[in-house]
Amino acid sequence: MGAIRHGVRPDGTALLVMPSAEYGSIGPDDLGALVSWIKSMPSVDSEPLKQRVGPLGRALYLAGDVPLLAAEVVDHDDLPFGQPEVGVTTEYGAYIASSCVGCHSLDYAGGPIPGMRPEFPAAGNLTPGIDTGIGTWTEADFMSFFATGVRPDGRQVEPQFMPWLPLGQAMADVEKQAVWMFLRSLPPMPMGGG
C-alpha cells in the first residue's frame, strides 16, 4: 500500500514513475479491492525490467518539468483517505476524476503532458470552456465518448493517447455520470490552464 499511496518500496526508497499523486487518495475500500485484485493475478516468473532514465529525462527532471519520483510530490502527511458514497454527485465525481490529473493537469485544463514525446498530443481540456473545453458537450456526448472515442465534432481520439476504451469498460455509468457532474462544476479554463 505504500507504493500506491506514497510511491515508495517496502524499504522506503522511492519508486520511479509511480502514479501515487493520482492514486494516493484512493479510499480504503477501493484500495483494498485493488490490492486484492493484484494479489489474485498469477505470478510471473521473470526478472523485472531495469528502469533507466536517459540524459534528456534526467535534465527534464532536474529542471522540474518531469516528476519522476511520486514520493517527492505526494504530501505524505495530508492524504485524504475518505471515500465518498457512490452516487451521481460532484463529490463522487471529483473522487473518480482525481485519477485524470496526471495527464489533464490539476485544474483539468489539459495541455502538453509532462515528459511525453513532442509528437504525443496534448491532453484535452476537461473544463466547461466553450472554445477549448467540453462546454459544448452534452452528457450523452460524454457517455458516448467512452464507448466510441469519438468527440461531438466527429474527431476520433486514438486509444493509445487517451485510454477511452478500457475506461469506458471499467467505469460504471454512475461513475461516468458523477465525473460529468464534477467536470461541469469546474470553472471554464483556457487550454492548458490560466
Measure the CA–CA gap between 27 and 177, rounded to whole angstroms.
19
Q: Does residue 116 share a domain with residue 71? A: no
The CATH code of the domain that includes 114 is 1.10.760
Q: What is the pLDDT of residue 175?
A: 95
Q: Does residue 170 share a domain with residue 100? A: yes
Q: Does residue 139 share a domain with residue 63? A: no
Cα torsion angle, 144, 86, 71, 73, sign? positive
pLDDT digits (tens, 9 = 90+) for 64-98: 666 677 777 766 666 566 788 999 999 999 999 98
Label residues 97-123 b or e (16+ Cβ within 10 Å = b). bbbbbbbbbebbbbbebebeeeeeeeb
Q: Does residue 97 share a domain with residue 165? A: yes
Which residues, including other chains, have CB under 8 Å from residue 157's CB and lie 6 or more apart? Answer: 124, 145, 149, 150, 151, 164
* Phi and psi angles of residue 61, each rounded to the nearest 5 degrees, phi first: -65, -50
Q: Does residue 156 share a domain with residue 188? A: yes
Q: Does residue 90 share a domain with residue 66? A: no
| Assigned domain for 77 exists | yes
- Least confidently predicted of 9-18, 48-57, 117-126: 48-57
| Assigned domain for 180 exists | yes
Measure the CA–CA gap between 59 and 66, rounded to whole angstroms.
9
Among residues 70, 72, 129, the alpha carbon closest in space to that of 102 is found at: 70
pTM of structure: 0.73
Cβ–Cβ under 8 Å, residues 133 and 126: yes
Cβ–Cβ under 8 Å, residues 68 and 114: no
Measured CA distances, 103 to 50, 54, 99, 151 (Å): 25, 21, 9, 18
In three-state secondary structure terms, 74 is: coil
Q: Does residue 148 share a domain with residue 97? A: yes
| Assigned domain for 47 exists | no
Q: What is the pLDDT of residue 84?
A: 87
Range of the domain at 69: 1-38+54-83
All 3 cell numbers of residue 117? 514525446
pLDDT digits (tens, 9 = 90+) for 119-156: 889 999 999 998 889 999 999 999 999 999 999 999 99
Q: What is the pLDDT of residue 43?
A: 87
Provide mean pLDDT across the span 12-27. 74
| Assigned domain for 45 exists | no
> How many independent structural domains does the chain possess?
2
Q: Does residue 126 share a domain with residue 79? A: no
Cβ–Cβ under 8 Å, residues 132 and 153: no
Q: Does residue 90 share a domain with residue 74? A: no
